[in-house]
């Protein structure tokens, strides 16, 4: 199909202020600032209480972060939802903000200090925290400006930060309530520890990766007491306090309850029976180091074993002896060498691949470590979070993700919430001179002279309050009354277990059993075009800002949303972004053409409409209904596909081309109005996905102030016109078949060919001029002699292609197609003539074979007619 042009436009041509080409850089920044300054994104909880409320809080990006493809996808989905609801008349609020990102931010500032030859300890806690706030003011939060470039329609007046005073008050309030209810406690437990950041880590801050290691089998005890255990961490054997076997393992029943000698230490340790042990793994016996392994810690608790810490907070051996002072990775081969020297090594396996946890921030291997920490008792909170989904108060979309959610909340361990950092919400607990403990409320002062706990809270603790702390909780604000619970949470499935579950727990607890959102809409990860995870090491990371700069924000958003199937990963490729840019250009050209030819939206639709006009209006309202259903089910990929094909294929490539004929005669006034109607509604449908180009085009076409608050189109079933749709579908098949013939003969799309059209009583006859325009067919003149004849849709198209068609090639093509059609007839007849098949096959299968037979017979008739019409030779 050709790009819309003005070659046929006449009569009502108008001056248009749209440039001949769309340049996103000339439009996007200007429009965004206009939207913000006009307050179009601002919410007012007191405005027209009859309007339904719609609210989303943005998953707060890290203050250290910048926009990446995952953010761009997440924000594009949310913006699409918010913009559509705004157009539907809802009172919408989309709350922006950032997370203080405790570990990441502290690391950034410490690196800055290191350049000056300083450490945080040189400054002291108070001065260091001041330095972090200074960094945040000067360098943090770049992502907020990048969100503007993407087009986020957030209410900037409500920008929040997890460390600002309102959020700090909310943190102190909920900590106090949980503490008083016995749901926060302090205890020695085994936790994830980073020897580089010197802090406990949450599960989400530990990244597991397969690493090549060494599985070593060691002999404990001797003689009848001998038992062999295997480990990848030989250095931790210095802290072993038992050997465990399965209670049903006949090999070791005689040893259960006895003691064996622990090599290199001189200690004797018991052999215990525990069902956790897998008798099929290794030797069926495992060493138990409760202070340095989470599974061993639980075995130790079940059997009242002592817990010996043999590695300090930096991963250095503290056990007295020859290994004291060695780093854990230095101690590992040294311990193996000492065991080998004593003849204790039974077997070494190299390589041995196993999963190893790393600190997400600094990539240091995480060390399981017993430590005195603060915990949330999650049992009742997690049960409430599970019940809210089970009883339907919260819907997870897509539904199949609910099983993963239940697996997590039903088996959740108590949550370690303390971090050994200086940047973050400090634990609001004070200790007295005699060991007393007090947790004052947010408006209370601690006793004079008491000392506050030095730890800070896990970043996820404050983030868990986000859906209600950003609306003013713990105060009973108008925002909280109007916008809580929020309407939907949009986030990646990768943090379903961590952030989502925590928000559910705290929201239900703080808000009297009301969950923080009605729907959890989960999307996948952005991957490259081959489905591979984006990684700097793979060299396939795409910067969305680069795409925005080269192709525009709309093209970037459309590319991401077009791949956003519910819950599925989203592949992207640069050529797809180029295609999205071309789509925006197509809209631009079509709208500009329409405006030049007088398209408008003034007054009602004409009572008298052509079949072509009735067809496009029928299709428009069908598409409105389809897109509504797809967006309601969070199927952004299908919605984008529906809009893309309607806009490009039906509006631009068919309707605009057919409208050119109508614009040249007395049908022009009605067609101008219908053309304006279709583009008006189409641009509104597209606006939530591609906001910038639609705003520029819509305001030019309609002379309206802004599309941002223009009413969302509604489908009118009365516009359905199957007769018009059927006729145009027939016309499309006619044109498509003739175009295929032309292409097969090597004729250029714009090359004109003389043709005689024999309508044979076809309902397409009144559309001859449109057919000729689409096919570049001229009327037969003097000396016309048909060299090819195509019977299509009851119409005979006789073409004079003398000198333009390779007759031999065309005959060969038709004969090949004819042979395939005859084979299809033979296969269908064999099945339909087979009594056994007809007796057993379902009616639907039989009907399908009959349809195939009828179609193949029709193809044979058509192809034989085309062959007979070819000139001899």
Q: Is the pLDDT of residue 8 over 60?
A: no
The pLDDT value given to residue 808: 79
Could you write out the DSSP letters of every residue in 104-164? HHHHHHHHHHHHTT--HHHH-HHHHHHHHHHHHHHTS-HHHHHHHHHT----GGG-EETTS
Does position 3 have pLDDT exceeding 50, yes or no? no
β-bridge partners, 272:
244
Of 134-148, 598-612, 697-711, 851-865, which range is least confident? 851-865
DSSP 281-314: STTSEEEE-TTS-HHHHHHHHHHT------B-TT
> Is the per-residue pLDDT at 395 higher than 90?
yes
Does pLDDT of 274 surpass 70?
yes
Domain with CATH 3.90.740.10 in the chain: 199-368
Q: What is the pLDDT of residue 13?
A: 54
As a whole number of angstroms, the distance between CA 298 and CA 305 comes to: 10
pLDDT at 108 over 60: yes
pLDDT value, residue 620: 98
Q: What is the pLDDT of residue 14?
A: 64
pLDDT, average across residues 412-421: 92
Q: Which of 304-313, 350-359, 415-424, 590-599 is predicted with the least confidence, judged by mean pLDDT?
A: 350-359
Q: What is the pLDDT of residue 197?
A: 86
The whole-angstrom separation of Cα 804 and Cα 801 is: 5
SS3 517: strand
Whether residue 530 has pLDDT greater than 60? yes
Express each pLDDT in 54-87 by its tens digit: 999 999 999 999 999 999 999 999 999 999 999 9
pLDDT of residue 872: 66
pLDDT of residue 225: 87
Sequence ranges of the binding site for ATP: 536
Range in 208-217, 262-271, 677-686 with the lowest mean pLDDT: 208-217
* Percent of the chain at pLDDT exceeding 90: 75
Report yes or no: 230 and 217 within 8 Å, Cβ to Cβ: yes
Give binding residues as ranges. 536
Give residue 494's pLDDT band: very low, low, confident or very high (50, 70, 90): confident
Calculate mean pLDDT across residues 182-188.
96
The residue with greater pLDDT, 498 or 52, is 52
Question: Is the model more confident about 866 or about 276?
Answer: 276
How confident is the model at residue 805, as a pLDDT?
A: 65
Which strand (E) or helix (H) includes residue 261? Answer: strand 259-261
The mean-pLDDT minimum among 5-14, 264-273, 394-403, 817-826 falls in 5-14
Determine the pLDDT at residue 531: 82
Phi then psi dihedrals of residue 689, to 5 deg? -90, -45
If one looks up domain 199-368 in CATH, what number appears?
3.90.740.10
DSSP string, 165-234: HHHHHHHHHHHHHHHHTT-EEEEEEEEEEETTTTEEE-GGGEEEEEEEEEEEEEEES-GGG-EEEEES-G
- Of the candidates 753, 689, 696, the one whose C-alpha atom is nearest the C-alpha of residue 76 is 689
pLDDT at 35: 98
User: Sorting pLDDT into bands at 50, 70 and 90, what band is 216?
Assistant: confident
Is it the case that residue 5 has pLDDT exceeding 60? Answer: no
The per-residue pLDDT for 232 is 87
**Across 650-656, average pLDDT:** 97
């Amino acid at each position: 199909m050709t790009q819309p042009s003005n070659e046929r436009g006449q009569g009502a041509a108008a001056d248009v202020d749209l440039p001949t080409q769309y340049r996103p850089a000339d439009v996007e920044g200007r429009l965004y600032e206009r939207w913000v300054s006009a307050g179009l994104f601002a919410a007012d909880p007191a405005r027209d209480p009859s309007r339904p409320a719609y609210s989303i809080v943005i998953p707060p990006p890290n203050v250290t972060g910048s926009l990446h493809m995952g953010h761009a996808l997440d924000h594009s989905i949310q913006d699409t939802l918010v913009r559509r609801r705004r157009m539907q008349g809802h009172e919408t609020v989309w709350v922006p903000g950032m997370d203080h990102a405790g570990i990441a931010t502290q690391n950034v500032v410490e690196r800055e200090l290191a350049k000056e030859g300083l450490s945080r300890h040189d400054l002291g806690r108070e001065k260091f925290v001041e330095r972090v706030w200074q960094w945040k003011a000067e360098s943090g939060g770049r992502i907020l400006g990048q969100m503007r470039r993407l087009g986020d329609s957030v209410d900037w007046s409500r920008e929040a930060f997890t460390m600002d005073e309102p959020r700090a008050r909310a943190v102190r309030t909920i900590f106090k309530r949980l503490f008083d209810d016995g749901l926060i406690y302090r205890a020695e437990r085994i936790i994830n520890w980073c020897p580089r950041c010197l802090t406990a880590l949450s599960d989400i801050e530990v990244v597991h990766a397969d690493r090549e290691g060494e599985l070593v089998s060691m002999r404990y005890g001797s003689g009848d007491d001998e038992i062999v255990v295997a480990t990848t961490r030989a250095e931790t054997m210095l802290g072993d306090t038992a050997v465990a076997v399965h209670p049903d393992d006949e090999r070791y029943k005689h040893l259960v309850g006895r003691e064996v000698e622990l090599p290199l230490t001189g200690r004797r340790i018991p052999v215990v029976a525990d069902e956790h042990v897998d008798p099929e793994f290794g030797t069926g016996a495992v060493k138990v180091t409760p202070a340095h392994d989470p599974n061993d810690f639980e075995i130790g608790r079940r059997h009242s074993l002592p817990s010996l810490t043999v590695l300090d907070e930096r991963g250095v051996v503290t056990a007295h002896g020859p290994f004291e002072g060695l780093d854990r990775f230095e101690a590992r081969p040294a311990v193996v060498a000492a065991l080998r020297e004593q003849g204790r090594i039974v077997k070494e396996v190299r390589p041995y691949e196993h999963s190893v946890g790393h600190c997400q921030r600094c990539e240091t291997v995480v060390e399981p470590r017993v430590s005195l920490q603060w915990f949330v008792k999650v049992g009742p909170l997690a049960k409430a979070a599970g019940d809210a989904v089970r009883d339907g108060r919260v819907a997870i979309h897509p539904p199949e993700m609910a099983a993963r959610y239940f697996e997590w909340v039903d088996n959740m361990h108590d949550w370690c919430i303390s971090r050994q950092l200086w940047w973050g919400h400090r634990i609001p607990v004070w200790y007295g001179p005699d060991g007393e403990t007090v947790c004052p409320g947010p408006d209370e002062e601690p006793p004079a002279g008491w000392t506050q706990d030095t730890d800070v809270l896990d970043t996820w603790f404050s983030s868990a309050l986000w859906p209600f702390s950003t609306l003013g909780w713990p105060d009973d604000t108008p925002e909280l009354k109007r916008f809580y619970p929020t309407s939907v949470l949009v986030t990646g499935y990768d943090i379903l277990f961590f952030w989502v579950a925590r928000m559910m727990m705290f929201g239900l607890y703080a808000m009297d059993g009301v969950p923080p959102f009605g729907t959890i809409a989960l999307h996948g990860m952005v991957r490259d075009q081959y489905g591979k995870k984006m990684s700097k090491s793979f060299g396939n990371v795409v910067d969305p800002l680069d795409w925005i700069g080269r192709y525009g924000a709309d093209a970037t958003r459309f590319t991401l949303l077009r791949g956003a199937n519910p819950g599925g990963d989203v592949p992207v490729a640069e050529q797809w972004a180029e295609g999205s840019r071309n789509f925006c250009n197509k809209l631009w050209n079509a709208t500009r053409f329409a405006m030049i030819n007088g398209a408008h939206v003034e007054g009602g639709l004409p009572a008298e409409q052509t079949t072509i006009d009735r067809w496009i209006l029928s299709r428009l309202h069908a598409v409105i209904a389809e897109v509504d259903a797809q967006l309601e089910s969070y199927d952004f990929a299908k919605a984008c596909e529906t809009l893309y094909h309607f806009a490009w294929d039906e509006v631009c490539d068919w309707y605009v081309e057919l409208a050119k004929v109508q614009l040249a005669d007395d049908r022009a006034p009605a067609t101008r109005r219908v053309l304006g109607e279709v583009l008006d509604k189409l641009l509104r449908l597209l606006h939530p996905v591609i906001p910038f180009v639609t705003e520029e085009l819509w305001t030019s076409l309609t002379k309206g102030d802004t599309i941002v608050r223009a009413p969302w189109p509604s489908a009118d079933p009365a516009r359905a016109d199957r007769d018009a749709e059927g006729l145009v579908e027939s016309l499309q098949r006619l044109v498509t078949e003739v175009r295929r013939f032309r292409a097969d003969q090597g004729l250029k799309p714009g090359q004109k060919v003389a043709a005689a059209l024999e309508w044979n009583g076809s309902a397409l006859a009144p559309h001859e001029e449109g057919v000729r325009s689409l096919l570049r067919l001229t009327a037969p003149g003097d000396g016309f002699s048909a060299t090819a004849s195509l019977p299509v849709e009851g119409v005979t198209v006789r073409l004079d292609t003398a000198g333009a068609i390779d007759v031999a090639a065309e005959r060969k093509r038709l004969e090949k197609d004819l042979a395939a059609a005859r084979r299809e007839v033979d296969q269908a007849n064999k099945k339909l003539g087979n009594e056994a098949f007809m007796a057993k096959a379902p009616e639907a299968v039989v009907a399908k074979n009959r349809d195939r037979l009828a179609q193949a017979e029709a193809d044979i008739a058509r192809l034989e007619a085309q062959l007979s019409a070819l000139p001899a030779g």
